[in-house]
Amino acid sequence: MNFEIPAELAELRQQVRRFIAEQVIPLERDSRNTTHGPDESLRLELVSRAREAGVLAPQVNTEYGGRALDQRSRAVIFEEAGYSPLGPLALNIAAPDEGNMHLLELIATEQQKRTWLRPLATARWRSCFCMTEPAPGSGSDPSMLQTVAVRDGDDYLISGRKWLITGAQGADFGIVVARLEDGRATMFLTEMNRPGIRIDRLMDTLDSCFIGGHAVVDFDRLRVPAENILGELGEGFKYAQFRLSPARLSHCMRWLGAARRTHDVATAYARERQTFGKIIGKHQGVGFALADNDIDLYQSRLMIWATAWVLDRGDLGLYESSRAKVAVSEALWRVVDRSVQILGGQGVTHETIVARIFADMRGFRIYDGPSEVHRFSIASKILKGTAPSEMLP
């Protein structure tokens, strides 16, 4: 692998870094930040600023105004955006929209791209991905899917309950995963304001960085025309992997930036705060924690870049993305936790951004597959002899 960042990408990185510092971070204490994420007016302001700065949606194809960044380039830029909890939203690279854009680019028809992808990629619309269900439905095991789609003439009637649906409140459209009468999973596109869809409630969660929060959504005989089937009938689980594999890595990219932010705050504090006659960074307990942070950040970045290389090579990268999801989510959590500890009492207040990132990041080890499920999958492949044989790509 060549780890050198090309000049054009380095220039874009600096452009995004300046944008985050000058245009986004000052809005982190804006009153429009709520417990269920930034409100729509704040999103529109952030998006407008990003568009004016020329950094909006750099990952999408040029026909939508993006730069068609490959995965390795996304790793560099997404990390910079993640330095602020508002950065991914500003650049239109936040979950779930970024993952939905990727999926639509891969499998949507040309008409569906015009109808659904274009307004999403240009940040005129927001979206959600409706797959996870409460018990006894599907969580980590998609084969337990309970939401059903019954054929009715040229349409399908969808009924079921989804929960932890990020961004559902205020979303313009959703991708709904439901099983047909024969049990095969299928994806459907639908406007979220149609009869038959009801936002039951927003769930109270630790994080506050995802616009639209995390909702419980009820579908009661939602009528969806057959032309709104995304991809082929019965291929929903396969398409979910198309979406989830790079989406796991995108989470790693964004949260790397957030963890780096907490380390920077902790480092600045360790250089200034004095105890027992010297700055606390010179005490081994703090100095070693800073060193461990640096190691975890660097190892995480290398694993992200290596996995991005696999995806850019054309591989789906299920094994590699699972491995990265486990390693990076746990390493970055250690970084943030150490940063809280270095800050002492200040670390558990909102005097700095660290406590907010601490709360926001905890879910990273759960969504898009908890660490335990990924470890089980990795172990299964190792035992079957189907794990990639190379130690490095």
Query: What radius of gyration, in Å, describes the C-alpha atoms of the chain?
Result: 21
What confidence category does residue 9 fall into, taking pLDDT thresholds of 50, 70 and 90?
A: very high
Percentage of residues in the chain with pLDDT exceeding 70?
A: 99
> Is 34 in contact with 211 (CB distance < 8 Å)?
no
Task: Give tens-digit pLDDT for 34-55.
Answer: 999 999 999 999 999 999 999 9
pLDDT reported for residue 266: 98
Rounded mean pLDDT, 147-175: 98
> Is 379 in contact with 149 (CB distance < 8 Å)?
no
**What is the distance of C-alpha 32 from the center of its chain?**
21
Task: Give tens-digit pLDDT for 94-144.
Answer: 999 999 999 999 999 999 999 999 999 999 999 999 999 999 988 888 889
Q: Do domains 7-94 and 127-232 have the same CATH topology?
A: no
For residue 217, report the phi and psi dihedrals to the nearest 5 degrees.
Answer: -125, 125
The CA distance from 92 to 15, in Å, is 16
Rounded mean pLDDT, 270-282: 97
pLDDT reported for residue 29: 97
Any idea which fold 127-232 has? Butyryl-CoA Dehydrogenase, subunit A; domain 2 (2.40.110)
For residue 225, report the phi and psi dihedrals to the nearest 5 degrees.
Answer: -65, 150
Mapped onto helix, strand or coil, the DSSP state of residue 381 is: helix
Domain boundaries defined on the chain: 7-94, 127-232, 237-384
Contacting residues for 280 by C-beta, under 8 A, at least 6 apart: 269, 270, 273, 274, 286, 342
CATH code for the part of the protein at 237-384: 1.20.140.10
What confidence category does residue 390 fall into, taking pLDDT thresholds of 50, 70 and 90?
A: low
The CA distance from 356 to 365, in Å, is 16
Any idea which fold 7-94 has? Butyryl-Coa Dehydrogenase, subunit A; domain 1 (1.10.540)
pLDDT reported for residue 143: 83
pLDDT reported for residue 393: 53
pLDDT value at 5 more than 60: yes
> Is 248 in contact with 369 (CB distance < 8 Å)?
yes
pLDDT reported for residue 287: 98
pLDDT reported for residue 305: 97
Task: Give tens-digit pLDDT for 290-316.
Answer: 999 999 999 999 999 999 999 999 999
- Give per-residue burial for 227-243: e unless 16+ CB within 10 Å, then b: ebbbbebebbbebbebb
Rounded mean pLDDT, 336-355: 98
pLDDT value at 60 more than 80: yes
Rounded mean pLDDT, 152-162: 98
User: Cα(first)–Cα(last) distance of the chain, in Å?
Assistant: 8
ω into 388 cis (within 30 of 0)? no
pLDDT value at 389 more than 80: no
Could you tell me the two tokens for 249? 């890595």
Report the mean per-residue pLDDT for the chain: 96
pLDDT reported for residue 392: 58
pLDDT value at 173 more than 60: yes
